[in-house]
Amino acid sequence: MKHLFNYKWQLKDGYPAPGINKNNYDVFGTFVCGGGSTMGYKLAGFNHLGGVEIDKRISEVYKINHNPKYLYTQDLREFNKRTDLPNELYNLDILDGSPPCSTFSTSGNREKDWGKSKRFLEGQEIQVLDDLVFVYCDTILKLKPKIFILENVKGLILGNAKSYVKNIIEKLDSGGYSSQVFLLNAASMGVPQKRERVFIVGHKKEISYNKLRMMFNEKPVYFKEITGAMGKPNSPHDNSIWELRKRGDLDFSHTLTRNGKQATNWNSKYIYGDKVCNTIASSSGSKLIEFEHPFHLSDDKLKQIGSFPSDYNFNGIRPKYLIGMSVPPVMIAQIANQIKLQWLDKESLNA
């Protein structure tokens, strides 16, 4: 079965994706990172104007790969104070944002870190990370796009974090926006990766849109379909655990426990050839190791699993970090395409 958007592609082939027509809808991004979302919108035929990124090194990578019309290398709080923004940023069809989400992640400290100032890796600045979803809400209410998208981790709708979602929706409701909350898995969209993410999608109340439907049933892409050279061989320590593995083990900790040893190395995950790959995490301590072969994932395979183009220029930044921090381009392309078909195109026809 052919996928609507191919996870194997190259920047040099240009935009949009084969079989997709260019449209006239404008998008601007916040927390643009390496441009995963940017590439997704472009694949879906949208005109992406650029974005805001706090980290200077990553902003340079973004500039090299995407040649944006507008790029603001600064904290979004400072961007929100600007009075010199071009008019077209106030007439957007879509405003996109993926506020940093480590404090909501189910794998982190969650509530213990809420409200604390931390050194955020991308920008190397001290800031309160869980505030950034509301800073992005301020951006929405400042620019007043027709539609906004707010992407975050699954943990945002679990446990006590649900109150954050409630507050987000109430703030945007009072500012004139209707919102819907979706939990979506990239694996259902033709991305070779199990990556569940929350998307809050909203529109101006003055625009009469039907409820948005987000149903994706593309054929799963199993790891055995990913091609390319092997990555770095296991270290002697990793190999000593890997050699004890048994089918059904999810990670090194399962292997160790099953062999009567202390449960450690839980973030060293096995990748099975007949399954969709685990989520790519940006942290240096996380490892994805092939179950059938004693190797870590190569950069070539990481790019395919993240649906990044094979000729993407990382400009010295570790690919796993940037891909792990980014929304998979094909995931956003699928979502943007549905917003186009269900909302924007119908509005244009009724205009």
Backbone angles phi, psi at 97, to 5 degrees: -160, 140
Three-class SS state of 6: coil
Question: What is the structure's pLDDT at 156?
Answer: 84
Q: How far is CA 284 from the centre of its chain?
A: 18
The whole-number pLDDT of residue 120 equals 46
Residue 133 lies in a domain: yes
What pLDDT score does 110 carry? 37
Question: Do 184 and 332 lie in a common domain?
Answer: yes
* Spatial separation of the C-alpha atoms in residues 50 and 280, rounded to whole Å: 25
In a domain, 342, yes or no: yes
The tens digit of pLDDT for each residue in 9-23 reads 999 999 999 999 999
CATH code of residue 153: 3.40.50.150
| Same domain assignment for residues 252 and 303 | yes
26 and 89, same structural domain?
Answer: yes
Q: Give a yes or no: residue 1 inside a domain.
A: no
Q: Specify whether 310 is located in the same domain as 229.
A: yes
230 shares a domain with 216: no
**Cα gap 37→94, rounded to integer Å:** 12
**Structural domain total, the chain:** 2
Number of other CB atoms surrounding residue 313 within 10 Å:
11
If asked whether residues 205 and 261 sit together in one domain, one would say no
Q: Are residues 132 and 74 in the same domain?
A: yes
pLDDT score for 65: 98
DSSP state of 70: E
Contact indicator for 82, 142 with CB cutoff of 8 Å: no
User: Does residue 15 lie within any of the structural domains?
Assistant: yes
| Within a domain: 145 | yes
Asked if residue 7 lies in contact with residue 309, where contact means CB atoms within 8 angstroms, the answer is no
pLDDT of residue 115: 47
Q: Are residues 227 and 216 in the same domain?
A: no
Is 206 in the same domain as 295? no
Q: Report if residue 2 sits inside a domain.
A: no
Q: Are residues 258 and 199 in the same domain?
A: no
Does residue 4 fall inside a structural domain? no
Q: Are 231 and 299 in contact (CB under 8 A)?
A: yes
Q: What is the pLDDT of residue 161?
A: 73
One domain for residues 108 and 253:
no
Contact 242, 268 (CB under 8 A): no
Q: What's the domain range around 147?
A: 11-220+328-350
Q: Return all residues near 320 (Cβ < 8 A) that are at least 6 apart.
A: 280, 282, 297, 299, 302
The 10s digit of each residue's pLDDT in 127-153 is 455 689 999 999 999 999 999 999 998
Same domain, 169 and 247: no
Q: Which of 145, 45, 129 is nearest to 96 (CA)?
A: 145
In a domain, 64, yes or no: yes
Per-residue pLDDT of the chain (351 residues; tens, 9 = 90+): 689 999 999 999 999 999 999 999 999 999 999 999 999 999 999 999 999 999 999 999 999 999 999 999 999 999 999 999 999 999 999 999 999 865 554 444 434 444 444 444 544 455 455 689 999 999 999 999 999 999 998 888 887 777 888 999 999 999 999 999 999 999 999 999 999 999 999 999 999 999 999 999 999 999 999 999 999 999 999 999 999 999 999 999 999 999 999 999 999 999 999 999 999 988 878 899 999 999 999 999 999 999 999 999 999 999 999 999 999 999 999 999 999 999 999 876 665
Bridge partner list, 26:
47
